[in-house]
Amino acid sequence: MSTFPKLGVCYYPEHWPEAKWADDARDMREMGLSWVRIGEFAWSRMEPEEGKFSWDWLDRAIDILGQAGLDVILCTPTATPLRRLVDKYPDMIAVTKDGAPRGFGSRRHYCFSHQGYRDECARIADIMGQRYGQNPYVKAWQIDNEYGCHETILSYGPSALAGFRIWLSQKYENIDGLNRAWGNVFWSMEYGSFDQINLPNQTVTEPNPAHVMDFRRFASDEVVAFNKIQVDALRAHTDAPLIHNYMGRITEFDHFAVGDDLEIASWDSYPLGFLEDRSDQGEDFKHQFMRQGDPDFQAFHHDIYRSVGHGRWWVMEQQPGPVNWAPYNPKPLPGMVRLWTWEAAAHGAEVISYFRWRQAPFGQEQMHSGLRLPNRDVSDCAAEIKTAGRELAVLEGAQTNPASAALVFDYPSAWAWETQPQGREFDYFRLVYEFYVGLRRLGLSVDILPGNCDNFGDRKLVIIPGLFSLSGNIQTALKSYGGQVLIGPRSGSKTDDFQIPADLPPGIPGLNAKVTSVETLRPTAPIALGRGGHFHIWREHVTGSADIIERCDDGAPALIANGKVNYVTGWPDSEAMARILKDQSEKAGLDVAPMPDGHRRRLIGSYTLHMNYGTNPVDLARFGIQGDQNLDGADIALIDNKTKKRVL
C-alpha cells in the first residue's frame, strides 16, 4: 500500500442531479483525487420524516463513488439539526450569553448538553453505522462538523445549567469544598447548595473567575461527551477510523480531549479567509499576504492537529479559491493551492481534501469557489491540484520525525486568560502563536505538545508561554527534562482553582524566582529591553537568586535562568522575540537559519520543503542548496537533505 499523502474533496451528491454523479466521480479520479467526503449536512434527505429513512440515494451515491475508485468518508449530519427536531425539543436550541435563543435557518444551533438531542445524534449515528459500517467503500467516518464554529460551544440555556450543577457536584462533592475552591467568601457569594449556582452570565459586574473557569471546563467536557456518544454508536458497527474536522483558531473546547477518542484529527484550512477574519496582524501584513495567507497560520494548526491526532491527521477542507465568509475574499495567487497542499504534506498530513467539488448556485455559500464551477466547468485551481497530486508520490514512506523544538499549547489556558485578561490585548492564542512564528522565522520545525504533557522526549528546546497552571504532569516533565526550556510570561500564575499560588508564581522546578507584581501595558507604552526590542502587552517583576541574563532598560530583570531553565518576564515584541529565540535555540544546539521575509521551511523525512509565501524570488544559495537556486514567489522547492539538490 502506498503511504504518500492523498488528495480528496468534499462532495454533496444531494445538491446535484443523480445523472451527473458518475461523471463527477470520474472527473474526481481524473483530477488525481482518491478520497471523497459526503453527508455531513444531509439529514433532511436521510430521514425525511421521523423514523422514515431514505437511504437509496445515499446507497447509490456511495456505490458510484466507490466503484469509480474513490474512498468515501461518510459523515454524521448532526451539525444541522432538523427543523422538526427543533420543534420537538425547543430547549435544544443554544442560548447566547445575553440569554437570546439562537435561531433555526443555518447550522450548529444545538446545545451540547441537551439530552434529547444527544439521543437523536446517537440514534442517527447508530442507524448509519448499521447501514454503512461494513460498506467496503466507506473507509472513514467524520463525526459532526466543526465543533465550535460560529461561536457555538458555550450555551446559557436550561440544559447547560442542569448539566453544570451535576458536573460541579461531582467535582466538589460538597458545597463547602466549592465555596473554598472558588473563594466565595469574597463579596458574600457563598452558596448553600449546588442547586443555587447559576451559569456565569448576566451578573452585574464580572463573575468570579473560578466560576467561569469551571463553566468553561464543563462546556469543554460536554463537547467531549457529545462526541463520545457518536463514537460509541459508530464503533459498534465499524473499525474504520473516526475523525472530526476542527476549525482554525477555535479554542473554546479542549481539542486534545476530543482527539483522544478518535483515530485521526483533521482541520479545515482556509488560509485567505483566516488572514482576513482571524489574524492579529495589521493592515500592511494583510495586504502583503492577502493572496497567500499568513505564512505560519496553516503550519501552526497542522502541528496542533498532528499532536491532537497522536500523529495521524488530515486536512479535511482545503481552500481552493475565494471563500464567501471573510471581510474580503480575494483569489489566491497562482501556485498557492499547490503550496498549501505541499505544506500540509510536509507537516505529515495523510489526506488533503479540498472544499468543495462544485460551487453551489444556491444557499449561503453561492460565492464560495469549488474545484468546478456551478456549470461543471473546471475552475482555476484544478491544474495545481493535479500537479500536486502527481508530485506527492515522491514522499512515499517519508515519516514526520519528532521536531527538535516544541511548544506547549493548552486550551484551558485560553479559557483562563479570556476570563481574566488583565489587559485588553492579552490573548493566549496570540501569545503562543507569536512564539511559534518566532521559531519558524528561524527555520525550525516545531512540535506542539498539550498542557498536560508529562514528557518532552528528546527535544532540545521546549517553550511554555502563558501556561495557566503548572500542576501535575508538566511538573513531572520539567523535572525529568535535561534540555533548554523557556517559560513565561504568566506561566504558573494560578492554581487549578484559579487562585494565586500560596508561595507566589511561577513555581517552576529548578528556577529560583518569584513574581511579585505584574502590569499590563498600553500600546503606547512598551518597555524597552537592554539588548533591543521591547516587552509589550504584559510584564512582570521578579525577585530571587536566578541568574539575570538580560534586563529591561529600567533595570528590572527581563530574562532569568537557573542553568537551562529560563524564564522571560514579559511578552516580547517581534524584535525581542527573534533575538531571544535565536539565543535560546543556539544554546539548545539547534540548526538556526533566519528566513527571508515570507519564506519558511519544514523537515519531512529526508527532505526539506522550502515555501515562498512572498511575491519576490528567494535565492536558495543561502541555504547551501545546489543546482537551481531560484525560488519564485508562491512556489515550493523540495530539497533532498543528503545531496542538497532540488527534487522539485
Nearer to ligand GAL, 244 or 602 (CB): 244
In degrees, rounded to 5, the angle at the alpha carbon of residue 329 between the alpha carbons of residues 323 and 330 is 110
Q: Distance between CA 526 and CA 425 in Å, rounded? A: 13
Residue-by-residue DSSP string for 533-580? -EEEEEEEEEESSSEEEEEBTTS-EEEEEETTEEEE-EEE-HHHHHHH
Q: Which residue has the cell 541568574?
A: 547
**Closest to 135 (Cα-Cα) out of 230, 64, 41, 47:** 64
Q: How far apart are CA 178 and CA 180, in angstroms?
A: 5
- Cα 439 from Cα 437, distance rounded (Å): 5
Q: What's the min distance (Å) between Cβ of 350 and ligand GAL?
A: 19
Q: What are phi and psi of 541, to 5 degrees?
A: -115, 130
Residue pair 552/529 in contact (Cβ under 8 Å)? The answer is yes
Binding site for ligand GAL (CB under 6 A): 145-146, 149, 247, 268, 270, 317, 323, 325, 355, 365, 368
Q: Of the two residues 37 and 600, which places its CB atom closer to ligand GAL in the complex?
A: 37
Nearer to ligand GAL (CB atom), residue 127 or residue 149: 149
**C-alpha cell of residue 398:** 517519508
Closest distance of CB 591 from ligand GAL, Å: 37
Count of alpha carbons within 13 Å of 68, Cβ hemisphere only?
Answer: 23
How far apart, in Å, are the Cα atoms of 378 and each of 17, 23, 371, 388, 592? 18, 13, 6, 16, 43
Find the catalytic residue in 47, 120, 146, 434.
Answer: 146
- Which 3 state secondary structure label does DSSP give 109? coil
Q: Which of 222, 317, 343, 434 is catalytic?
A: 317
- Based on CB atoms, which residue is closest to ligand GAL, 324 or 520? 324
Tell me how far, at minimum, the Cβ of 216 lies from ligand GAL, in Å: 23
Residues pairing with 244 in the sheet: 265
Q: Which distant-in-sequence residues (6+ apart) come within 8 Å of 549 by Cβ?
A: 558, 559, 560, 561, 566
Which DSSP string do the residues of 69-86 spell out, in sequence order? TPEEEEE--TTS--HHHH
DSSP for residue 405: E
Least distance between ligand GAL and beta carbon 23 (Å): 23
- Min dist CB 293 to ligand GAL, Å, is 14
How many other C-beta atoms lie within 10 A of the C-beta of residue 509? Answer: 15
How does DSSP classify residue 204? S
- 173 assigned to active site: no
Q: Which helix (H) or strand (E) holds 46?
A: helix 43-46
CA 590 to chain centre: 26
Is residue 335 within 8 A of residue 384, CB to CB? The reply is: yes
Instruction: Specify the residue, 144 or 447, whose C-beta has the smaller distance to ligand GAL.
Output: 144
Choice between 323 and 403, CB closer to ligand GAL: 323
Nearer to ligand GAL, 67 or 364 (CB): 364
Provide, rounded to whole angstroms, the least separation between the CB of residue 515 and ligand GAL.
Answer: 40
Helix, strand, coil percentages in the chain from 3-state DSSP, rounded to 5 = 35, 20, 45
The nearer residue to ligand GAL, 380 or 425, going by C-beta atoms, is 380
Give least dist CB 483 to ligand GAL, A.
38
Which residue is listed with cell 461527551?
225
- Rounded to a whole number of angstroms, the minimum distance from the CB of residue 248 to ligand GAL is 9
| 8 Å CB contact between 281 and 230 | no
CB nearer to ligand GAL: give 39 or 200. 39
Shortest separation between residue 331's beta carbon and ligand GAL, angstroms: 14
Would you call 317 a catalytic residue per the annotation?
A: yes
Catalytic center residues: 146, 317
